[in-house]
Amino acid sequence: MHLTTAMLADSAQVQGGKLFVLGGGFDTITTRSLPVVHRSLAVALVAVVSPEERHRDLVITVNLVGEDDESIGVEAKGRLRVGAPPNLPPESSSVVPIVTPFYNVRFKEAQKYGFVVGFEGEELARVAFRVMLVSS
């Protein structure tokens, strides 16, 4: 499996095999005070699953880390099982949109962060962003 898309969004969902994103593709969260709670964040992904990876559990993890690469305790783990549509040639890969929502994420510090997307013990992507303190 590999990813063609990995982005941060305010909200995202998958409907009918398509990815719908609201407020996506940003890399900065601004705040006037710390700590700050961001009510809704989503990691929106588009994965390409090979024929060899179909019909088995694919374990995907998404972990929020700080600029020191240490987990800040916000994480998700899920299993993806992809079948083959009847009209897909057997040697073709499947394109699969995936959304991992996070609610009420608390950021204690203004710094760089990243959602690390993992698959079978390897980092597939890192969605980097920053939290910045701004004056009023």
Angle at 133 between CA 68 and CA 13, to 5 degrees: 75
Given a cut of 80, whether residue 136 has pLDDT beyond it is no
Question: What is the pTM for the complete model shown?
Answer: 0.94
Amino acid, res. 95: V
Q: In the structure, what pLDDT confidence band is assigned to residue 118 with cuts at 50, 70 and 90? A: very high
Residue 62, burial from CB neighbour count under 10 angstroms (0-12, 13-18, 19+): buried
- pLDDT score, position 90: 83
Selection from 127, 111, 100 nearest residue 34 by Cα: 111
Q: Under DSSP, is residue 53 helix (H, G, I), strand (E, B) or coil?
A: helix
Give the chain's mean pLDDT. 96
Domain boundaries, the chain: 2-133
Structure token pair of residue 127: 């969605």
Given a cut of 90, whether residue 113 has pLDDT beyond it is yes
H/E segment holding residue 54 = none
Given a cut of 90, whether residue 35 has pLDDT beyond it is yes
Class of domain 2-133: mainly beta
Q: Under DSSP, is residue 120 helix (H, G, I), strand (E, B) or coil?
A: coil
- 63-103: pLDDT as tens digits: 999 999 999 999 999 999 998 888 888 899 999 999 999 99
- pLDDT score, position 86: 82
Sort residue 24 into left (φ over 0), alpha (ψ -120 to 50) or beta: beta
- pLDDT score, position 88: 86
- pLDDT score, position 57: 95
